[in-house]
Structure 1
Amino acid sequence: MPVVVITGASAGLGEAMALQLASAADHTVVLIARRKDALDAVAARCTGKGAAAVTAIVADVCKRDEVERAVAAVLAAHGTIDVWVNNVGRGCNVLPSALTDADVSDMMQVNVMSAIYCMQAVLPHFKARRTGTFVNVSSMLGRIPHISTIRSAYSASKHFLNGITGSFAAEHAAEYPDIVFALASPGVIGTDFGLTAGSADSRTLPGAQDVDECAAAIIDGAIRKRQRETYTQPAHKAMMRQHLESLVPAE
């Protein structure tokens, strides 16, 4: 079965994706996160859902050496990687005029560098196989920044993630056309993400998408269909069209 690795798998969207893939029982699931107890609990739930094989690896993917160790552990256990989901992320509620060096550095390290470390570490394996899928979980704030000015550094980090994903894709398109660099852009998801950013619980916000619905959309679009762009709600596509039209008005 294809091996799919999910970072940030101990809670929220990562946990939801892991449980759904386990329920389908058509992927070997590998979970990566920092918190061992929470990670082991998710792995146990995946096994209970019928997953044939679940591997839990404790690692902080914001550290390059731990990423390299985790990739080596996956390959030692399963011999291959088919899909790598960069799902680690953290929010920050600070207006742009009040951002500190630490605010920006933290957002870049967690939301961008973790993905770069993982892609750089897994790429040699994908190149040797000449195939593979990276799924980078971004955000609608990485597309339309003015939706929330209080999430300025988070939004900027997701714009950077989108840009670097496109650059990775362009670098490898000619020689490795079957290595896919996919982006998923959810909006507000019904998890405790807001609390970790120092704001309201996202589950209480109007229009928050059910986390299982969001996970299903990413699995279908980015993992199964290997779409390079996945929006988790139809309304998001309409928002993007309106935003682009505002930037490039008709003559």
Structure 2
Amino acid sequence: MSRLQGKTVVITGASGGLGMEMAKQAAAEGARLILLARRLDRLEEVKEMLHRTFAAEVHIFAVDISQKEAVEEVFSKIYEEVSRIDILVNNAGFGIFKEAREAKWEETQAMFNVNVLGLILCTQMVIPHMQARRSGHIINIASQAGKLATPKSSVYAATKHAVLGYTNSLRMEMARAGVYVTAVNPGPIATDFFAVADPSGSYAKNVARWMLKPEQVAKEVVKAMGTNKREINLPRWMNAGSIIYMLFPRLVERVGRQAFFKK
């Protein structure tokens, strides 16, 4: 029997890309899925596909995770329907790549509201229940940008630095109750993320050879579900760059400046 058989997995941002791929792979392992996203029509398509392919039990809820009252209402409904959440995957997020002087305040607020505050809000919805049961797993999708910031991603990188800070503190707090907390730090993934982040398409074109496949990232996340995995860093060579940056920041900024500006 699969480790995820009968486990309830909540995934935010599940209507496409990495979120949908994680849902597919978790469904293949027998998980019960709770999928959250803003677009109900896309969620319905994903639900139908998962039911048809895996005969999976899937519950869907349309919600904007930046809206506190809406999130509280949705999680209340979730607990009415399934009584417990075993794994929460905070996947919802987006980026807009612009130099700091060009960043619009509305875009800055929106990124923090979704990437940081929405993630924290969803996490707060499960913390008391997991602590009371003394079991559970919270998985936060951060980014290599949270370890190594580059030009044209100042605000996005700031949100992911915040996610990593929150995740690292949360991990120590939740360990006392036997609840696992994992940070996932992928490099660029071949999804629709870049349609919003860089509508010109130049960044995706420049890093195409290094793009991760969502299936690859999802495989590592699903494999870690229910285990005490501290971090998932992909690709490994990019994470090595982040480590070198922590040791020799001035050198990396000087040597890598030209490449970093290719966004």
**TM-score (normalizing by structure 2):** 0.86
Matched, 1:20 2:22: no
The equivalent of 1:217 in structure 2 is 220
Q: 1:87 to 1:244 in 2, by over 3 A?
A: same
Pick aligned residue for 2:163 from 158, 161, 164: 161
The equivalent of 2:92 in structure 1 is 88
Cα separation, 1, equivalents of 2:48 and 2:204: 25
Cα separation, 2, equivalents of 1:213 and 1:49: 20
1:199-238 alignment, distance < 5 Å: 199=199, 200=201, 204=205, 205-221=208-224, 223-238=225-240
Task: Give the superposition deviation at 1:195.
Answer: 0.6
Gap regions ≥5 residues in structure 1: none
Which secondary structure does the structure 2 equivalent of 1:31 belong to? Answer: strand
Task: Give the superposition deviation at 1:227.
Answer: 0.7
Cα separation, 1, equivalents of 2:130 and 2:117: 19
1:106-117 alignment, distance < 5 Å: 106-117=110-121
Pick aligned residue for 2:72 from 68, 71, 78: 68
User: Given residue 67 of structure 1, which amino acid in structure 2 is its aligned partner?
Assistant: V
User: Given residue 160 of structure 1, which amino acid in structure 2 is its aligned partner?
Assistant: A
Which secondary structure does the structure 2 equivalent of 1:115 belong to? Answer: helix
User: Given residue 167 of structure 1, which amino acid in structure 2 is its aligned partner?
Assistant: S
Cα separation, 2, equivalents of 1:245 and 1:201: 30
User: Given residue 243 of structure 1, which amino acid in structure 2 is its aligned partner?
Assistant: Y
Task: Give the superposition deviation at 1:171.
Answer: 3.3
Which secondary structure does the structure 2 equivalent of 1:206 belong to? Answer: helix
Cα separation, 2, equivalents of 1:201 and 1:224: 38
Q: 1:124 to 1:150 in 2, by over 3 A?
A: same
Matched, 1:190 2:190: yes
Q: 1:154 to 1:128 in 2, by over 3 A?
A: same
The equivalent of 2:16 in structure 1 is 11
Number of residue pairs the alignment of both structures matches: 243
Cα separation, 1, equivalents of 2:133 and 2:15: 29
Task: Give the superposition deviation at 1:247.
Answer: 4.4
Give aligned-pair identity as a percent: 30
User: Given residue 161 of structure 1, which amino acid in structure 2 is its aligned partner?
Assistant: V
The equivalent of 2:129 in structure 1 is 125
1:164-175 alignment, distance < 5 Å: 164-173=166-175, 175=176
Which secondary structure does the structure 2 equivalent of 1:94 belong to? Answer: coil
Q: 1:171 to 1:248 in 2, by over 3 A?
A: farther
Matched, 1:141 2:139: no
Cα separation, 2, equivalents of 1:153 and 1:14: 22
- 1:38-77 CA-to-partner distances (Å, cap 9, x unmatched) read 0000111111221431111111111111211221222111
Cα separation, 1, equivalents of 2:198 and 2:241: 26
Cα separation, 1, equivalents of 2:117 and 2:137: 18
Cα separation, 2, equivalents of 1:144 and 1:71: 34
Cα separation, 1, equivalents of 2:65 and 2:84: 19
- 1:179-223 CA-to-partner distances (Å, cap 9, x unmatched) read 1221100111011111122432876523111111111112123x1
Q: 1:98 to 1:150 in 2, by over 3 A?
A: same
Cα separation, 2, equivalents of 1:52 and 1:61: 24
Task: Give the superposition deviation at 1:224.
Answer: 4.1
RMSD: 2.0
**TM-score (normalizing by structure 1):** 0.90
- Contact 2:174–2:180 (Cα < 8 Å) also in 1: no
